[in-house]
Amino acid sequence: MFENLSERLGGVFDRLTKQGALTDADVATALREVRVALLEADVSLGVARDFVKAVQDKATGQGVTKSVTPGQQVVKIVHDELVSVLRGEGPADALKIDNPPATMLMVGLQGSGKTTTTAKLAKRLHEKQGKRVLLASLDTNRPAAMEQLAILGLQIGVDSLPIVKGETAVQIAKRAKTQAAMGGYDVLMLDTAGRLHIDEVLMDEVQAVRDIAQPRETLLVVDGLTGQDAVNVATEFDGKVGITGVVLTRMDGDGRGGAALSMRAVTGKPIRFVGLGEKMDALEAFEPERVAGRILG
Ligand code: GDP
């Protein structure tokens, strides 16, 4: 990642080496490059602007132009700031799922990868942490989605709540809670219904489910390739339902992942995991360093 940014800022720093000193104008030029890199990675304008301003202030504060290796120092400040915004506080994947059964609510728009992510995360909790997980789909509008989760459950060796036709999402959530408690499960994962767009019906249903389910974690699954839209979706869900974290899917795609920076800066919510493919083990804990490298391209 240092190489990427250094390359990008190469012109500026080449000149600097020849001059043997860095002027404020050189720093400004370098930061314009950083801004372009961020915008190209689909970081929102406001976030890119604030980010560059923060770096500018640090560069001035640390007197980089007078330092022995000013170019490298600017690169380091950019890198550290990026990682620090992305990281937020605490380890990304530390879910609050002690005190069994802990309920996790999975929310998001249809097509974001919510069901796939629910199963991937169940597999991870089951295999890496030895948790007994119960899956339940609340997507009463799409029987196929309910079956999809049950099939994935079978694939990964995790139980799912038997499907009973005609129940409402709230009724399923209640039954799932009871089953999780009686069956001695550690974690209950509720895969809520998604819709193509955020609307009142969707939010009302998710709120009703949340009130019944009392989740310890409410994870929003969003498509990492959708840039600013992903951030808008997160802001809406957080305002209406309250989310505890985000999973960015399709980070295996061509996108540079700027949504991650905007997401963290705008919503303040931690990105906990990233989806890296369709397979059941294509889910990783979010690593700020790696995403920072991609964003700076
Ligand atoms: P839902 O409607 O939000 O539940 O979405 P699904 O879980 O059904 O996923 C929609 C499609 O996206 C499926 O074909 C998934 O295999 C695919 N998908 C989910 N997550 C990822 C990911 O991280 N990377 C890629 N490449 N595809 C994904």
Is the minimum distance from the CB of 281 to ligand 1 under 6 angstroms?
Answer: no
* Two structure tokens written together for 230: 């992903």
**Ligand 1 centroid, distance to 245 Cα (angstroms):** 18
Question: Which tens digits make up the pLDDT trace of 41-80?
Answer: 888 899 999 999 999 999 888 887 777 777 778 888 888 9
Query: Whose CA is closest to atom 26 on ligand 1?
Result: 277
> What pLDDT is attached to residue 2?
45
Q: What is the pLDDT of residue 64?
A: 76
Q: Are 248 and 274 in contact (CB under 8 A)?
A: yes
Residue type, 47: V
Kindly report the protein residue whose alpha carbon is nearest to atom 14 of ligand 1. Answer: 278
Going from the C-alpha of 200 to that of each of 48, 195, 236, the distances in angstroms are: 31, 11, 11
> Is the CB of 147 within 6 Å of ligand 1?
no
Choice from 110, 278, 280, 286 to test ligand 1 binding pocket (greatest atom count within 8 A of CB): 278
CB atoms within 10 A of CB 253: 14
Any ligand 1 atom below 6 A from CB of 57: no
Residue 101, preceding peptide bond in cis (omega within 30° of 0): yes
- Quote the CA–CA distance of 10 and 13 in Å, as a whole number: 5
**Strand, coil or helix: 92:** coil
Closest ligand 1 atom to Cα of 253: 26
> ipTM surpassing 0.90, yes or no?
yes
State how beta strands 283-285 and 187-191 pair. Answer: unpaired
* Full-model pTM: 0.90
φ, ψ (nearest 5 deg) of residue 222: -130, 150
Bridge partner residues of 134 (DSSP): 159, 188
Beta strands in 126-282 (DSSP E): 133-137, 159-160, 187-191, 217-223, 245-249, 271-275
Q: pLDDT for 104-153, tens place per residue? A: 999 999 999 999 999 999 999 999 999 999 999 999 999 999 999 999 99
Residue-wise pLDDT for 155-209, tens only, equals: 999 999 999 999 999 999 999 999 999 999 999 999 999 888 888 889 999 999 9
Sign, CA torsion 280/286/290/295: positive
108 is known to lie in a ligand binding site: yes
The dihedral over CA atoms of 272, 276, 278, 280, expressed in degrees to the nearest 10, equals: -60
